[in-house]
Structure 1
Amino acid sequence: MTALDAATRKWLQSTGFPVEEEALWLEALTHGSFNGSATASNEADYQRLEFLGDRVLGLSVAAWLYHAHDGPEGRLSQRLNALVSGATCARIARTIGLPDHIRLGKQAREDGGADSDNILGDVMEALIGASFIEHGYDATRETIYRLWEDELAGDAGKAKHPKSALQEWAAGNRRAMPQYEVIDRSGPDHAARFTVRVSIHNVGSAEGVATSKGAAEKRAAEAFLEEHG
């Protein structure tokens, strides 16, 4: 059985992820490209733990936001999506030195996999999943709050233009990008009124009305976030 590298074990411990079952942490750190593929090397990759960690991270941050802020659902969702996004997870992964410990195949490493936002974000979530299994929700939540301290205290997801916020929401939820369409224009040129519909495939749509196309798009994005965010 493959043993966890001593330097990686020490790094995990210092980061807030004490190791009990080595195989679990090896799985969390293993990309599918390792030794050709996880199947070929008889070692599981991080995908199942990533699935679990994503939910644990989301619940932990949502609980923090609920207790720390009294904003409406749409605004809380906007901040949540920014705080748990792949880009945020990758940023924290770099801060704690995760790239040095990911198990990648030779080609994936040469292609820059150790600095890929997608891979770093996924492995960060996988570590959270492994922590949840070994140490439970409460201990994992406290580790998340410590690692995310600067992000939680920062401006991620605050006061963004509704169109930017909606685009970030879509990316954070792995949805198609928003599509805007002018569905009606009425009135004379000096007093025109535009109706814009924004839609995201397999999610829904919302409309906004204003005296310019841009303002109507903004209102449509606001309406979408209020209804679906």
Structure 2
Amino acid sequence: MARHRYYPKNQKLQEKIKKQFQELQEKMGILFDNEKLLTQAFTHSSYVNEHRKKPYEDNERLEFLGDAVLELTVSKFLFNKYPAMSEGELTKLRAAVVCEPSLVKFANELEFGNYVLLGKGEEMTGGRQRPALLADVFEAFIGALYLDQGLEVVEKLLAQTVFPKIDDGNFTYAMDFKSQLQELVQRDSQGLLQYQILQEKGPAHNREFISRVLLNGSELGTGIGRSKKEAEQKAAQVAITALTLLKEQ
């Protein structure tokens, strides 16, 4: 009689995760030298919280790096693509490309939501469709790809997924509030803007951030959002109103 092989639950889970990310790499035509970086890019903090005994690390640090890499690569593309554009116009266009709604579209087109490792609570509350989470995963993936393959491979990926959309005119020059505030301050030579996250509260699946924006060290406004980016945008919106009222006095 044939004997059945029984695997520990965690071993089965590890095999499932490994197969999942092998599938993603094959689909994208990118093979990671360090697959741990790829897994980390898709690991949400809620998953880490439920697997504390395992060596999982969430994607927040990679998101931080990916945000900077995206800004650099998109800036380089726009700088070379539009030599007649002013600094202000380039800033507006870049903001439209790297803003949260755009990052969510990129993530959805690559079906990144199917690969995110989530805790049960986040899964049950629709985390796979949450815009802030998807935008963060896209940035984290870019950060992981940069560490593993370098800037050239990142630019190659963006040339397939992002840059054609710029060429096709999918982005407008519409400014977000942070860009509007930056231009307002620069125009009047008022000084240096700085954003700070004052507080993070709530469980991973229902996180809330409080941000403030400072001008030369003095607070201009605060904002609350479901993501750091949203909180900063709302703080900038309050700051614009405050500066406008100040000018009218």
TM over 0.5: yes
Q: Please point out which of 172, 186, 195 is paired with 1:157.
A: 172
Whether the 8 Å CA contact 2:178–2:232 is kept in 1: the answer is no
Counterpart-to-counterpart distance in 2, 1:15 and 1:173: 33
- Rounded to whole Å, the distance in 2 between the matches of 1:181 and 1:173 is 16
C-alpha displacement at 1:22, in angstroms? 1.7
Instruction: Give the counterpart of 1:108 among 122, 129, 142.
Output: 122
**1:163-194 C-alpha deviation (Å, 9 max, x unpaired):** xx242637589341323559xxxxxxxxxxxx
Pair 1:167 & 2:177 matched: yes
Shift of the 52–13 alpha-carbon distance from structure 1 to 2, 3 Å rule, reads: farther
Are the aligned partners of 2:178 and 2:237 in contact in 1 as well (CA < 8 Å)? no
Alignment partner of 1:26 is 2:39:
yes
Unaligned runs of 5+ in 2: 1-10, 182-228
Once the two structures are superposed, residues 18-54 of structure 1 have per-residue CA deviations (whole angstroms, 9 ceiling, x without a partner) of 2221211111110000153565543100011111111
Report deviation, 1:81: 0.8
Structure 1 position 144, deviation (Å): 1.6
The corresponding residue for 1:80 is 94
Aligned length: 183
Cα 1:11–1:134 shift into 2, 3 Å: same
Query: 1:38 touches 1:45 (CA, 8 Å); kept in 2?
Result: no
**Which letter maps to 1:198?**
T
* Equivalent residue number for residue 91 of structure 1: 105
Unaligned 5+ segments in structure 1 are: 183-196, 200-204, 210-229
Residues 30 and 166 (structure 1 numbering): CA distance in 2 closer, same or farther, change over 3 Å?
closer
**C-alpha RMSD of matched pairs (Å):** 2.7
TM-score, normalising length from structure 2? Answer: 0.65
Residue matched to 2:4:
none
Change (3 A) 1:21 1:181: closer
Instruction: Letter of the 2:98 partner, please give it.
Output: V
User: How many Å apart are 1:150 and its aligned residue?
Assistant: 4.0
Structure 2 residue aligned with 1:213: none
Contact (CA 8 Å) 1:81, 1:157: kept in 2 or not?
A: no
Distance 2:69 2:98 in 1: 10
Other structure's SS at 1:30 match: coil
- The question of whether the paired residues in 1 share the 8 Å contact of 2:48 and 2:58 is answered with no
Q: Which residue of 1 aligns with 2:79?
A: 66
Q: Which moved more, 1:140-149 or 1:167-176?
A: 167-176
Length-normalised TM-score, structure 1: 0.70
User: What is aligned with 1:43?
Assistant: 56
Of the three residues 150, 156, 175, the one matched with 1:142 is 156
- For the residue of structure 2 that corresponds to 1:81, the secondary structure is helix
Residue 218 of structure 2 is aligned to residue 177 of structure 1: no
Deviations 1:181-226 (A, max 9, x none): 59xxxxxxxxxxxxxx439xxxxx9x5x8xxxxxxxxxxxxxxxxx
TM-aligned CA distance change 1:132 to 1:138, over 3 Å: same
Contact (CA 8 Å) 2:165, 2:171: kept in 1 or not? yes
| Deviation by residue 1:47-70 (Cα, 9 ceiling, x = unmatched) | 111111111111000001101112
8 Å contact 1:28–1:127 — kept in the other structure? yes
